[in-house]
Structure 1
Amino acid sequence: MNIVVLVKQVPDSGTPRELAAGDFTVERASASNVINEMDEYAIEEALKIKEAHGGEVTVLTMGPAGAADSIRKALSMGPDKAVHVTDDALHGSCAVATSKVLAEALKTLNADLIVCGAESTDGRVQVMPHMLAERLGIAALTGARKVTVDGSQLTVERQTDDGYETVTAATPAVISVWDTINEPRYPSFKGIMAAKKKPVQTLSLADLGVDASSVGSAGATSAVVEFAKRPPRSAGQKVTDEGDGGTQLVSYLVSEKFV
């Protein structure tokens, strides 16, 4: 089975994140950039499917030159090769433009199965698997907590607020996964060394036949027009109990319309 895993490099959600003053896009140059956490679960699921059914796992990334670090980290977990779509004109691309570029890259890879995280920690829009499935004309099995492969038939337990739904489709298909699906493996020293020698193909917009004016800030369907940092938390109201603490507390709750 030919499996492609989508991997995105994002600013570490555990550190402060900033927007660039010039165009209000995410400031990545000075950020601590890592693999999107949910994508690590996608990598692990792809590797488990390969181990059970054979085939090859390819990592696909769209991002600046610095995203190569995350590509090597992903390869150290076990995938066979990678494709890096990078072009200066991609800066500022919205989800719609990103899906267009990724879909063109996926067409060159002839994937049986495309696996991705359910969301990215920087965008958190959860639309990419649906957009890719629509552009490629294939099924989208999203929000998976479990994936079963039987030949060309896929069965997914889709996680919901009330439990799960069972959905099926034939390959080729797009699957997105939540962090409940598995436990990603840690790269071994052998894997880290092997990743340095694994092939990474670099593609530009010209290679994919994508018009630069349709992507990036110029082609974006949405944009941040203004932002402000969260204001500091104001001091709370302190209640000193001098025998009437309960009355003061109730009065406060009434004033705030809690009761």
Structure 2
Amino acid sequence: MKVLVAIKRVIDAYVKVRVKSDGSGVETQNVKMSMNPFCEIAVEEAVRMKEAGIASEVVVVSCGQQNSQETIRTALAMGADRGILVQSDAELQPLAIAKLLKGVVEKEQPELVLMGKQAVDNDFNQTGQMLSALLDWSQATFASKIEKSDGKLTVTREIDGGLETIEVALPAVVTADLRLNEPRYASLPNIMKAKKKPIDTMSAEDLGVDPSPRLSVVKVSEPPARQGGAKVGSVAELVEKLKNEAKVI
């Protein structure tokens, strides 16, 4: 079974994000970038499948600028076999990414597509579901456990009320949740080996996709600063403030 893993290059999760002075977006110049944490979990799951003999090949794909190759190399160092970069300088939004991934899937013909449930830079949580719809494949989102048997996947999902276990037929799109696994650290020998692993490059034009944005950002601003608390003398005063000042009751 060939597994395709979609990954994204984002601002490192431990870096404090700064808004640009003109309010057009967040500052990315001279900022540490890394693989989206949920994508790391998806890569780890695919590598574990290969180690268990379930997957025959793990291919990672990233859509974005040339520097996304760094993120692909990280995935290759974790154990993926080869990489694909869909190079585009456009602002890629979920629908465009889903269309690009659909083109890659049609070329690669995997049985399973794994990806993070969302990216920590925009938290859209849309690409996996859109890709499933475009391909007309089964989907299982927010996966915390994946098992394969008899050509099907049994996926445990994290939902608001607890856990839900579903069975989906292959081919399928599965998005990884936080508790699916603990991603490994790439060892130095594997980092060196990753430099020799192939990365194919293609463009949106090669896949017949127009990646032009469908949405426009009006303004990006910092959240308001938290105001200081206040002491009250009685329950009645607390209720009065909650009702008339905070207007929460």
> What is the TM-score of this pair, normalised by structure 1?
0.86
- 2 CA distance for matches of 1:197 and 1:172? 30
Counterpart residue number, 2:12:
12
Counterpart residue number, 1:67:
68
**C-alpha displacement of 1:164:** 1.6
Q: Is the 8 A contact 1:145 1:156 kept in 2?
A: yes
Q: Could you list the runs of 4 or more consecutive aligned residues of structure 1 that deviate by over 4 angstroms after TM superposition?
A: 19-23
- 1 CA distance for matches of 2:166 and 2:157? 7
Q: Is the 8 A contact 2:19 2:26 kept in 1?
A: yes
Asked whether 1:227 is paired with 2:220, we answer yes
**C-alpha displacement of 1:151:** 4.1
C-alpha spacing 1:63/1:19, structure 2 compared with 1 (3 Å): farther
Letter paired with 2:222: K
- 2 CA distance for matches of 1:228 and 1:163? 34
The aligned runs of 1:194-213 (5 Å cut-off) are: 194-210=193-209
Counterpart residue number, 2:44:
44
- Work out which of the two has the higher radius of gyration on C-alpha atoms and give 1 or 2: 1
Counterpart residue number, 2:87:
86
**C-alpha displacement of 1:250:** 5.2
- 2 CA distance for matches of 1:105 and 1:73? 20
**C-alpha displacement of 1:147:** 0.5
Look up the SS of the partner of 1:48 in the other structure.
helix
> What is the TM-score of this pair, normalised by structure 2?
0.90
Counterpart residue number, 1:55:
56
- 2 CA distance for matches of 1:93 and 1:29? 18
C-alpha spacing 1:105/1:231, structure 2 compared with 1 (3 Å): same
Structure 1: runs of 5+ lacking an equivalent: 240-244
Q: Is the 8 A contact 1:25 1:92 kept in 2?
A: no
Q: Is the 8 A contact 1:8 1:120 kept in 2?
A: yes
Look up the SS of the partner of 1:206 in the other structure.
coil
Counterpart residue number, 1:178:
177
- 1 CA distance for matches of 2:49 and 2:242? 54
C-alpha spacing 1:252/1:174, structure 2 compared with 1 (3 Å): same
- 1 CA distance for matches of 2:13 and 2:242? 33
Q: State the Cα RMSD in Å.
A: 2.1
- 1 CA distance for matches of 2:185 and 2:57? 19
Q: Is the 8 A contact 1:49 1:149 kept in 2?
A: no
Letter paired with 2:7: V
Q: Kindly, what percent of the aligned residue pairs are identical?
A: 32
- 2 CA distance for matches of 1:227 and 1:149? 43
**C-alpha displacement of 1:130:** 0.9
- 2 CA distance for matches of 1:102 and 1:42? 15
**C-alpha displacement of 1:145:** 0.9
**C-alpha displacement of 1:62:** 0.4
Q: Which string of whole-angstrom CA distances, capped at 9 and with x for unpartnered residues, describes residues 150-202 of structure 1?
A: 14211111111222222112211111111111111111111111111110001
Letter paired with 1:99: A
**C-alpha displacement of 1:29:** 3.2
Structure 2: runs of 5+ lacking an equivalent: none
Q: Is the 8 A contact 1:141 1:175 kept in 2?
A: yes
C-alpha spacing 1:148/1:121, structure 2 compared with 1 (3 Å): same
Asked whether 1:99 is paired with 2:95, we answer no
- 2 CA distance for matches of 1:24 and 1:108? 36
Q: Is the 8 A contact 1:144 1:178 kept in 2?
A: yes
Q: Which string of whole-angstrom CA distances, capped at 9 and with x for unpartnered residues, describes residues 80-138 of structure 1?
A: 000011122xx223211221112112211111110011111012121111110111121
- 2 CA distance for matches of 1:246 and 1:76? 61
Look up the SS of the partner of 1:135 in the other structure.
helix
- 2 CA distance for matches of 1:21 and 1:94? 23
